[in-house]
Amino acid sequence: MAGRAAEPGARVRALAPDTPELVHNYGSLSLHELRAREFRRLAGTVYLDHAGATLFPQSQLTNFTEDLMNNVYGNPHSQNISSKLTHDTVEQVRYRILAHFHTSPEDYSVIFTAGCTAALKLVAETFPWESQGPASGGSHFCYLTDSHTSVVGMRKAITAVNVTSTPVTPEDLRESSAAVSDPDCQLPHLFCYPAQSNFSGTRYPLCWITEVQAGQRCPVNTPGKWFVLLDAACYVSTSSLDLSAHPADFVPISFYKIFGFPTGLGALLVSKRVAPLLRKTYFGGGTAAAYLVGEDFYIPRHSVAERFEDGTISFLDVIAVKHGFDALERLTGGMENIKQHTFSLARYTYTALSSLRYPNGAPVVRLYTDTEFSSPEVQGPIINFNVLDDRGNVVGYSQVDKMACLHNIHLRTGCFCNTGACQRHLQISNNMVKKHHQAGHVCGDDVDLIDGQPTGSVRISFGYMSTLEDAQALLSFITATWLHSSKGHPARVAAPLGVQDVAMVQEGCDLSPQEGSLPDSRLPMDPATPVSVLGPSSAEAGPALQTPSEGAAGVPDGGLGTHVVTNIYLYPIKSCAAFEVTSWPIGKQGLLYDRSWMVVNHNGICLSQKQEPRLCLIQPCIDLKQRIMVIKAKGMEPIEVPLEENSEQGRICQSKVCADRVNTYDCGEKISNWLSKFFGRPCHLIKQSSSFQRNAKVKHGKDQFPATTATLSLVNEAQYLLVNQSSVWELQQQLSTSDENGKEELFPMKDLISRFRANIITNGTKPFEEEKWDGISVGSLHFQVLGPCHRCQMICIDQKTGQRNQDVFQKLSETRKRKVNFGVYLMHTSVDLSSPCFLSVGSKVFPVLKENVEHADLPASEKHQDILS
């Protein structure tokens, strides 16, 4: 059960890369040929979230598109030729679905829904519940605790009709016995359980269906007639379900889990045994045989499907399902082949993960499973785990996810919409769940550890196109990140992962996928010389970036030391290169024109360096005198963009930044063509509209500066980001390697600073002292410290080349623990912009400690004169 790990020295079966059990071919088509032909988009990507959504093959989409282009499909509720074609095709798909589940229209009906969740909701609303009363305990709704949120959510609709809902643990159901015998009691009860846990991949016995229906195994000891809802969405993605042998009364499914496409379409398979009992109230278009407007007269259609499919179904998506079946059978030969292939990959990976040990013998992962992966009858192709450090502490799932992204490994983290299984395996009590919510944790966020305890875990899952290389890439990533990163120790494996794998691990090789290099033609130009607001300046215009000496890394306890602004950067175009200045105006939203523009794709979605690292090679420079921004990139002619919009020519559009809707305008076709040529795909440059105000979400404590309304540009979190050179210097020392000649500087200070994309750099006196500040004063300007900056994978991108290197993020992850924080967010307070305000290099910075707020009121004589008003 929870927290299973292999015993030290446990013998693990070796599976070499040429093991027949693993290298599965679908008929005459090898798996590598399948990937090359149908999934070229996966090149360089390790996709391990098939339980979330599997991937569609290229031929499925091609054939579906050709079908739509060659046929006219009309609304199936009409009577014309095109509508008749649609109706007949939809009915044929219904037959195809039933045949896939080894049943027929004589036993089941297929009701198309918007997905599995909609199918569950339909059952909750139409099941023939009997309310509690003086003479009857009423119906019961029971569900396994290892159930998806959408199943547990049924209880809300059921409680509304005064029906009892009871969660049942897997252990209690296994030990349950026959119900109280009362042949005369026909009270309808419903039991719901998943064929496969979406959390751990545990496959529950399908024999429970007939046992519960027959009263031989009862979730609660009460007389009545039991019906069974089998949540099959996760199970049928990689296995065949035979409804002739396991005749569940309700079976909800989602087709994207099986085919990858279409999304937003599911079905409820309803047994003819229970269909006549369902009670439907609302009726929509296409469901009525007859009705009157003026009186309560309504006759439903006879067909179960027509009665329950309100309005026009998504008939083109239904046609896409037909092509999904075609592709799946043509490429794999059927679900039995898929089941064997995916389970073999999962067992190999589980075995290898169980064997990984730190040099001190501690396990590298904690596995959450109820099985030993002995058979696909009891275990699906899902592995759930948390990574541990060498002391046994859990590494937060958010941190693991960020590191995996650096290796282009796509996995799933959190509780996977299955709180019951998450609580059981991670040993999280009900009170802890409530406390986690009070602490700010909500489902789907990145709050992965609270008081050192995990709030969720990491899940990987395999699909029919998954390969042994995918599994080995994950193992290599974990080995390289947690075994090789700590103190240079080689990996210790309790038994071989495979002959070649072990040899490479012992030699200290990094088995992770290698990042591709950028073409030389796209290397950046030399960094621009820092400029002042008055124009270009010489190198002597401001103090050079200073590297703190080892002796200057700290000051006596209690002292704040002397702090000076050493560098100022703005980023006119979000995620593009920095523009360094020595003096610059302050605007309402921060440094004037900082992140006022951003690059979006053809759908208007903001591009960041996480998706497009080459953004850092785009170099914007602002000329305030000429009121233009000049944009440069190697291999491209410079292009000019006006600083202010032309209200008559600018096309207004909307976009999103960190869940905030922002009003912007398109900067024109000329710059769009320039960007599209550079990136090799359609792009646009948009600018935040000057008439649009985006307010910051700022909480004001009792000891903070007076509350103000902070307005933001296109930044993620706050108006300013400050980084302390002393903090960077400490990180640089940790990143440096020792050799026979002494320490080698891998990351020059200025290059390292550029990765953190801060606006204000101070010389500092102590590493990370800025995290203890409540605010700072720079001359007449006061800044409130809003909190630390939680770092993502962007700090792994070299801002000169656009190439990725995970060392920086990995080292911060090791040394900062928990959240990878670096730098602090600032918001200016009480700014009088009636006359120009400037921030300048060389200005003194006066910090205000969190426990010493009175330092905010500084004598006028101490206010630095480099701030001009």
Active site residues: 417
How far apart are alpha carbons 483 and 506 in whole angstroms? 11
Q: What angle do CA 354, 456, 233 make, to 5 degrees?
A: 85
| Cβ–Cβ under 8 Å, residues 781 and 867 | yes
DSSP 3-state assignment of 41?
helix
DSSP codes, 121-170: HHHHHHS-----BTTB---EEEEESS--HHHHTHHHHHHTTT-EEEEE-H
**Structure tokens belonging to residue 24:** 């599965």
State the number of CA atoms in the 13 A half-sphere of 163 facing the CB. Answer: 23
How far apart are alpha carbons 728 and 753 in whole angstroms? 7
Give the number of other Cβ atoms within 10 Å of residue 187's Cβ: 18
Residue 853, Cβ density class (10 Å: 0-12 exposed, 13-18 middle, ≥19 buried): middle
How far lies 477's CA from each of 343, 370, 792, 794, in Å?
21, 25, 18, 18
Report the residue count for the chain.
869
DSSP codes, 172-183: HHHH--PPPP-T
How far lies 849's CA from each of 355, 727, 771, 774, in Å?
48, 17, 9, 5
Residue type for 707, please?
Answer: A
Greatest distance between any 2 Cα atoms in the chain:
97
How far apart are alpha carbons 483 and 735 in whole angstroms? 17
Give the number of other Cβ atoms within 10 Å of residue 703's Cβ: 14
In the block, which residue shows the tokens 């809300």? Answer: 156
How far apart are alpha carbons 753 and 764 in whole angstroms? 14
Query: How far from the centroid of its chain's Cα atoms is residue 326's Cα?
Result: 31
Q: What angle do CA 844, 847, 848 make, to 5 degrees?
A: 150
How far apart are alpha carbons 190 and 125 in whole angstroms? 13
Query: How far from the centroid of its chain's Cα atoms is residue 27's Cα?
Result: 35
Write the DSSP symbol of residue 514: P
**Structure tokens belonging to residue 805:** 């290197």
What strand order describes the sheet that includes 651-657? Answer: 597-601, 683-688, 660-666, 651-657
Q: Using DSSP bridges, classify how beta strands 760-762 and 563-570 pair: parallel, antiparallel or unpaired.
A: antiparallel
Q: Using DSSP bridges, classify how beta strands 597-601 and 457-461 pair: parallel, antiparallel or unpaired.
A: unpaired
Write the DSSP symbol of residue 706: P
How far apart are alpha carbons 574 and 716 in whole angstroms? 9
How far apart are alpha carbons 48 and 26 in whole angstroms? 20
48-84: b (≥16 Cβ within 10 Å) or e: bbbbbbbbbbeebbebbeebeeeeebbebeeeeeebe
**Structure tokens belonging to residue 628:** 């233009």
**Structure tokens belonging to residue 227:** 């019906």
In the block, which residue shows the tokens 């979230």? Answer: 49
**Structure tokens belonging to residue 39:** 């999934």
How far apart are alpha carbons 49 and 55 in whole angstroms? 10
In the block, which residue shows the tokens 């990370």? Answer: 768
How far apart are alpha carbons 122 and 292 in whole angstroms? 25
How far apart are alpha carbons 73 and 60 in whole angstroms? 18
